[in-house]
C-alpha cells in the first residue's frame, strides 16, 4: 500500500489531472505495469521457444549430415572387410537422397581422402561439417590412375605379374601412396561412387607379398 | 465457511490480483527452463550413446575381419588355428603381423587378444607398443572356435579387439 501511495505521488507531480489519478482506487497503474511485464515475459519466453525450435532444426541437419558421412564410410569399410581369394570385392555406392528432409544436394559437398570422409553443408552462410575416419587403407584414385602412378614411380604397376621391388617394411611404397592419398577427392553426389579392393604386390626378390588397398573413385 | 468466502470475494483492495500474473509468469519460466534442461540432457545422453554404439560397431567389424583373416584360418574357414596364432604372435613374425595390420588405416591404434574360454591359452597380437596412458579404450569381443594342434581338437574362445582413442578434451 505504501508503494502504491508513492506511485500515486510521483504521477501527481507530473500530471495535470492529479485529482482523477489520486482519487482512483481501481489500481489501474498496477494493472498496466503487471500486464506490461507479462507481455515482456511472454515475448522472452516465445523468443526462447523459437530459438530452441531453430536449434532443433540445426540438430536434425547435423544428424542427417552425420548419417550421410557414416553411410559412405561404412560402405567403404565393408568392402575392406571382405576377404575373397577369387574376385576382388567391388561395389557402386549411390547417395540416398529420398530419406533426406533438410539437406539439399546442391549445397552438399562430400570429399574422400586416404584417411577420412568429410561432408560440408552450406546453410545460410554457415557451414556444417561431419567427418568420419576410415578403418582401411583407402586411396582416392581410379585403378588406371593408381597403376600409372606406381609404374611412374617404381617402373612396375604392382600387379601379380609385375610386383614392385621393395624390402620389408615396404616404406617406400606405403609412404609414397600415403602421401599421394592425402589430397581430397571431391565427389559428385548425383553420380555413383565406385569402391573396390585392390592389391599391390611387392617382392624382395625371394617371395611376393600382397598389400591391400581400397580404391574410391567416380 | 460461507462467511470466509464472502469476505474473500468482496475484498476490493486488490491485494492479490496484480501478483497473480507474476506468479503465473514465474511458473511458466521455471517450467520452460526445466523443459529445456530435460531436452538438452536427453540429447546429450542420446549423442553419447550413439557415439559409444558407433565405436563398438567399429571395433566389432575389425574383430570380425580378423576372425576371418585367411592366414589365421584352421582346417575349415570357420575355425581359427592355434598354430597360426602362435606363429603370428611370436616376436619373429614381424612381416606376417605387419601384413595383418597393414590393411587397416594407419591412424588406427589397436591390438588383438585371442584366448580360449578355459583360460589355458592366450595370445596377444600387436604391432609395436600401444600406449593406453590417458586414452579411451574401445573393445569388442567375438566368440570363435580355436583349433588346437594337429589332432583337430576344437575349443571355444574369443577374439577381442581393443582400439585406443585419444580422449575428447
Note which residues in 46-75 of chain B have CB less than 8 A from chain A.
54, 58, 61-62, 64-65, 68-70
**Cell numbers at residue A179, please?**
602421401
Identify each DSSP E strand in B44-152 by its residue range.
Answer: 79-81, 109-116, 122-125, 135-148
Q: Do B65 and A27 touch (CB under 8 A)?
A: no
- Model pLDDT for residues A147-177, shown as the tens digit of each residue: 888 888 888 888 888 888 888 788 888 888 8
Beta strands in A33-125 (DSSP E): 90-93, 108-112, 116-123
Closest to A50 (Cα-Cα) out of B144, B32, B100, B7: B32
**Chain A nearest CA to B117, separation (Å):** 26
A144-153, A191-200, B70-79, range with the lowest pLDDT: B70-79
State whether A210 and B99 contact (CB < 8 Å).
yes
| pLDDT band, residue B23 (cuts 50/70/90) | confident
Closest CA relative to residue A81, chosen from B71, B51, B60? B60
In this model, does residue B160 exceed pLDDT 90?
yes
pLDDT tens digit string along A3-45?
455 545 454 445 556 666 566 666 677 778 778 878 888 898 8
Q: pLDDT value at position B45? A: 94
pLDDT of residue A12: 46
Q: What is the interface pTM, i.e. ipTM, of the complex?
A: 0.72
**CA distances (Å), A14 to each of A4, A34, A92, B142, B149, in order?**
16, 21, 81, 85, 105
Q: Does A4 touch chain B (CB under 8 A)?
A: no
List all residues 6 or more positions away from A106 whose beta carbon is below 8 Å from its beta carbon: none
B34 or A181: which carries more pLDDT confidence? Answer: B34
pLDDT in tens, A47-86: 988 888 888 888 888 888 888 899 999 999 888 888 876 7
Distances (CA, A) of B57 to A51, A79, B133: 35, 15, 23
**Closest in B17, B18, B105 to A136, CB measured:** B105
| DSSP secondary structure letters along A114-162 | SSEEEEEEEETTEEEEEEEE-SB-EE-S-HHHHHHHHHHHHSS--SSSS
Amino acid at each position: 500500500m505504501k508503494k502504491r501511495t508513492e506511485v500515486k505521488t510521483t504521477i501527481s507531480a507530473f500530471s495535470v489531472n492529479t485529482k482523477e489519478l489520486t482519487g482512483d482506487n481501481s489500481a489501474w497503474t498496477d494493472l498496466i505495469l503487471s500486464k506490461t511485464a507479462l507481455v515482456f515475459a511472454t515475448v522472452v519466453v516465445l523468443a526462447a521457444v523459437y530459438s530452441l525450435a531453430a536449434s532443433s532444426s540445426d540438430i536434425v541437419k547435423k544428424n542427417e549430415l552425420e548419417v550421410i558421412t557414416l553411410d559412405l564410410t561404412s560402405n567403404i569399410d565393408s568392402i575392406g572387410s571382405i576377404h575373397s581369394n577369387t574376385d576382388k570385392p567391388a561395389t557402386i555406392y549411390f547417395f540416398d537422397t529420398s530419406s533426406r528432409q533438410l539437406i539439399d544436394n546442391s549445397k552438399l559437398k562430400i570429399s574422400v581422402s586416404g584417411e577420412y570422409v568429410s561432408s560440408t553443408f552450406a546453410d545460410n552462410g554457415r557451414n556444417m561439417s561431419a567427418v568420419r575416419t576410415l578403418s582401411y587403407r583407402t586411396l582416392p584414385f581410379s585403378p588406371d590412375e593408381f597403376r600409372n602412378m606406381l609404374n611412374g614411380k617404381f617402373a612396375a604397376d604392382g600387379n601379380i605379374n609385375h610386383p614392385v621391388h621393395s624390402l620389408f617394411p615396404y616404406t617406400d611404397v606405403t609412404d609414397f601412396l600415403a602421401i599421394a592419398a592425402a589430397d581430397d577427392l571431391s565427389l559428385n553426389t548425383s553420380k555413383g561412387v565406385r569402391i573396390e579392393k585392390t592389391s599391390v604386390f611387392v617382392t624382395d626378390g625371394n617371395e611376393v607379398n600382397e598389400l591391400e588397398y581400397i580404391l574410391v573413385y567416380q | 465457511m460461507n462467511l470466509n468466502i464472502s469476505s474473500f470475494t468482496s475484498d476490493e483492495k486488490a491485494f492479490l490480483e496484480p501478483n497473480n500474473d507474476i506468479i503465473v509468469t514465474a511458473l511458466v519460466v521455471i517450467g520452460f527452463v526445466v523443459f529445456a534442461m530435460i531436452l538438452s540432457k536427453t540429447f546429450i545422453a542420446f549423442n553419447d550413446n550413439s557415439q559409444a554404439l558407433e565405436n563398438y560397431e567399429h571395433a566389432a567389424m575389425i574383430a570380425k575381419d580378423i576372425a576371418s583373416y585367411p592366414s589365421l584360418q584352421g582346417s575349415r574357414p570357420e575355425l581359427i588355428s592355434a598354430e597360426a596364432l602362435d606363429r603370428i604372435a611370436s616376436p619373429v613374425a614381424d612381416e606376417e603381423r605387419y601384413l595383418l595390420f597393414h590393411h587397416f588405416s594407419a591412424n588406427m591404434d589397436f591390438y588383438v587378444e585371442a584366448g580360449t574360454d578355459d583360460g589355458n591359452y592366450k595370445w596377444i597380437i600387436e604391432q609395436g607398443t600401444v600406449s593406453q596412458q590417458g586414452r579411451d579404450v574401445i573393445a569388442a569381443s567375438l566368440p570363435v572356435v580355436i583349433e588346437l594342434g594337429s589332432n583337430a581338437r576344437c575349443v571355444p574362445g574369443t577374439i577381442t579387439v581393443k582400439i585406443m582413442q585419444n580422449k575428447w578434451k
